[in-house]
Amino acid sequence: MSVEQLKDVKAVIFDVFGTVVDWRTGVSREAAAFLTRHNRQDINPDDFADCWRDFYAPAMAEVNSGRRPFVRLDILHRENLDKVLEKLGIDAAAIPHSELDELNRAWHRLDPWPDSVQGIQRLKKRFIVAPLSNGNIILMINMAKRAGLPWDAILGAEVAGIYKPMPEAYLRTADILAMRPEEICLVAAHNDDLAAARKCGLRTAFVLRPTDHGPNQKTDLCPTQEWDVIADTIDDLAAKLGT
């Protein structure tokens, strides 16, 4: 790490799913209750969560390709939930819409990793802190209120009108913050997110989340580029940035 490169940073913005919160454990927990209610304990709730997540990138790609106008992630998640049920052989038509809508909001009720709240609180003293997530605004608000994430603002795909990793997602965020890209540091546990941000001129901080995708995770177990900061946790990142 070169502190020199980071001296102009004024805003520290975060990928959220996997970096700040443990999406897989949270979704799996609510899927387990759902599967029990419907007598489908034969399905592993972790597989349910992974299956739901597998539909995530293709759904956003439809928007980013221009084939579909921007819609918020809650809507994509809800459509994808129907696909998950079909794939796992659960008859969605037999389940009340309200119950599926409630399950869809499992993504609003994810727990932070143990270091996230304290780390962001420390960073907030010196920097503007905000999510730059593909999650939509009300999802991020509900998550933050439940988890105690002390964001200064909710930025991200819905504010920018486009999903990461499209360059506009990073560049419009910089424009909204009235900052040059190098005044902004993206924090993420995913090398591809950081690579896209770096191409736009943002500073980059890698935080290792070795169980983001469960105990058998194969990806993002180490940095694939020399990111400006490499940290074990967000609290460790806060220390490395001198806060």
Report, in Å, the least distance between residue 133 CB and a second copy. 13
Instruction: State which residue, 28 or 116, has the beta carbon closest to a second copy.
Output: 116
List binders of a second copy among 131-160 (CB under 8 A). 136-138, 140-141, 144-145, 151-155, 158-159
Q: Work out whether the CA dihedral 189, 166, 132, 180 comes out positive or negative.
A: positive
Q: What would the two tokens of residue 154 be?
A: 């909710």
CB of 199 to a second copy, least distance (A): 23
Least Cβ distance, residue 60 to a second copy (angstroms): 18
Interaction between residue 30 and a second copy (CB under 8 A): no
- For the record, the structure tokens of 26 come out as 């949270």
* Least Å from the CB of residue 38 to a second copy: 25
SS3 for 136-165, per residue?
A: CHHHHHHHHHHHCCCCCCCEEHHHHCCCCC
Count, residues in the chain: 243
Q: Which is nearer to a second copy, 32 or 138 (CB)?
A: 138
Residue with smaller CB distance to a second copy, 100 or 138: 138
Smallest gap, in angstroms, from Cβ of residue 20 to a second copy?
16
Looking at the Cβ atoms of 85 and 144, the one nearer to a second copy is 144
**Integer CA distances (angstroms), 177 to 7, 124, 184, in order:** 17, 15, 9
Q: Binding of a second copy at residue 194 (CB under 8 A)?
A: no
100 forms part of the interface with a second copy (CB under 8 A): no
User: Does residue 178 touch a second copy according to CB under 8 A?
Assistant: yes
Q: Residues 60-99 vs a second copy: string with x where CB under 8 A?
A: --------------x-------------------------
* 128 binds a second copy, rule: CB under 8 A: yes
Q: Is 176 in the site for a second copy (CB under 8 A)?
A: yes
**In the bound complex, what is the minimum distance in angstroms from residue 137's beta carbon to a second copy?**
5
Please, how many CA atoms are within 13 Å of residue 112, restricted to the half-sphere of its CB? 23
Interface residue list for a second copy (CB under 8 A): 74, 128, 130, 136-138, 140-141, 144-145, 151-155, 158-159, 176-178
